Amino acid sequence: MNATKQRFVEFMLESGVLLFGDFTTKSGRQTPYFINTGLYRTGRQLAELGRYYAATANDCFGDGYDVLFGPAYKGIPLVAATSIALSEQHDRVVPYCFDRKEAKKHGEGGQLVGHTPRDGERVLILEDVTTAGTSIRNTVPLLRATADVTLTGLIISVDRREMGPNGRSAFDELSEEYGMACHAIVTIHEVIEHLHGREIDGRVVIDDEMRGRIDAYLAEYGVD
């Protein structure tokens, strides 16, 4: 696990985004850990987050995409911050767009905000996490209804390494279903590796009891 991944794990902790306790995921699973990018609260945090996403996009996809798409709502600040970071850190001007929960019926109308994808453009989707792939499956039809686009790939903060609807990795299923590459800045196993037994800011974030709960959860829902 390289230094950048370690720093990202600690950055999520410092920002209050990586949480341990009792939570319910969008898919209805009871989980002992949760990643919520909606809890980033400052411009400094968003700027740093954008740099991590931009670096991952650059490393994994190079210049193989034309537009960033962020599913509402948490994907909205992700694409904005990443677009800025790509411009400032990688000298790339990449437009972005996101969807509305409901189509606008006045003004310019439509369900997309920002750049409107055009035929032939390659779309890179940015999300916070993907447990069962629900939000991606909801937004892909919208993108394809807008234009004849190619889905280049998906980047998320943390790959929870959990089973999708068909008992396989949600990432693997999405990649196969839509023919796109899926990458995470870190996986849950890398998070555990870095934090188990490690004292940060005066406390051990993942002690043996929490590690046991996480292991039990992954034994039921995990794919590794």
User: φ, ψ for residue 74 (rounded to 5)?
Assistant: -65, -25
- Band the pLDDT of 59: cuts 50, 70, 90: very high
Q: What is the pLDDT, as a whole number, of residue 1?
A: 79
Q: Is the predicted pLDDT of residue 83 greater than 90, yes or no?
A: yes
pLDDT at 32: 96
In this prediction, residue 194 carries a pLDDT of 96
Pick the closest to residue 221 from 14, 83, 27 (CA basis).
Answer: 27
pLDDT band of 163, cuts 50, 70, 90: confident
What's residue 178's pLDDT?
87
Q: What is the phi/psi pair of residue 67, to 5°?
A: -150, 145
What is the structure's pLDDT at 132? 62
What distance in Å separates the CA atoms of residue 92 and residue 207, rounded to the nearest whole number?
42
Residue 26: pLDDT above 80? no
Most confident of 28-32, 43-47, 175-179, 218-222: 43-47
Among residues 5, 26, 74, 104, the one annotated as catalytic is 104
Phi and psi, residue 110, nearest 5°: 90, 175
- Specify the pTM: 0.90
CATH number, domain with residue 141: 3.40.50.2020
Q: Give the chain's domain count.
A: 1
* 7, two tokens: 């720093």
**pLDDT computed for residue 103 by the predictor:** 59
ω into residue 178 within 30 of 0, thus cis?
no
Say whether pLDDT at 13 is over 90.
yes
Burial group, residue 141, by CB count within 10 angstroms (0-12, 13-18, 19+) = exposed
- Is residue 196 annotated as part of the catalytic site, yes or no? no
Q: Is the pLDDT of residue 134 over 80?
A: no
The single-letter DSSP state of residue 222 is: B
Task: Give 84's contacts (C-beta < 8 A, 6+ positions apart).
Answer: 47, 50
pLDDT at 9 over 70: yes
Quickly list H helices, 91-161: 134-146
Question: In whole angstroms, what is the distance from residue 135 CA to residue 140 CA?
Answer: 9
Strand pairing category for 96-104 and 67-70: parallel
Average pLDDT over residues 18-39: 89
Is-contact 130 185, C-beta < 8 A?
Answer: no
Contact status, residue 71 vs residue 99, Cβ threshold 8 Å: yes
Domain that holds residue 142: 3-221
Residue 164 exposure: Cα atoms within 13 Å on the Cβ side: 20
Catalytic residue among 74, 90, 105, 106: 106
Give the max Cα distance, the chain: 56
